[in-house]
Structure 1
Amino acid sequence: MPLSEHEQRLLEQMERALHAEDPKFASALQGNKLRRRLRRRVGFAVAGVLAGGALIGYGIVAGRVALDAAGAAVVVACAWLAWLSWRRIPAPGQIVPASRLRPRRTPRSGSFRQRMELRWQRRRERDGF
């Protein structure tokens, strides 16, 4: 179950307090998971660019235009993914909010009624009922 907005704010306040108290320890703990995940994504994207380039080369040798087009699409998509991921990698001492460490998953699974009940429950928690 994801954290409520209030809980996320409290967690971020605790993270800022930890960073203010011991910045070396906080930076060692904080960004490693996100940095590792994004670097792995960049590595896979670079491998995809190379595979797309190989597909283009094979399409040229085999005389297949469809392989060239597919290889070009793979290269463009993987290069875009690599660029986006590389851009998001935090610096080693940068404070990373907790919301960026966890992948975003919206509670969209379930019926309309379940989503409305969840929304009502969040509203009651937020308003303090």
Structure 2
Amino acid sequence: MPLSEHEQRLLDQLEQQLHADDPKFASHMESASGRSLSTRHIVVGSLIAVAGILVLLIGISNQIIALGVLGFIVMGAGVYWATSRRSGGGKDASSKAGKSSPPSKGGFMSNLENRWDERRQGEDRQ
């Protein structure tokens, strides 16, 4: 069901406000929406995980610890492969990755304190 014009305008205003309030979070959300699970990744990863389980079981039944550990590692790699997300942007994703914001002079806590102060000042004005 499509959005009405009023709802679309409200959504656009919310998006603009988000970009104005927290551009870093907004850009992170934009880049995350371009990434999705691939069916191919899920199928291949599941097959690798099943193969890892089989190797693990063979290692356990033959009491070969190294083979059991190898099977566990292969199983973990399969699960990781199946759940990893790939970027759908291609060129766009690589160009965004090349751009990085300059590091802040303060630390993590300093940035949080500054953002908290800005929010408090915004509340006091209203």
TM-score by length of 2: 0.39
The structure having more radius of gyration, on CA atoms, is: 2
Q: Which has the higher contact order (CA 8 A, sep 6+)?
A: 1
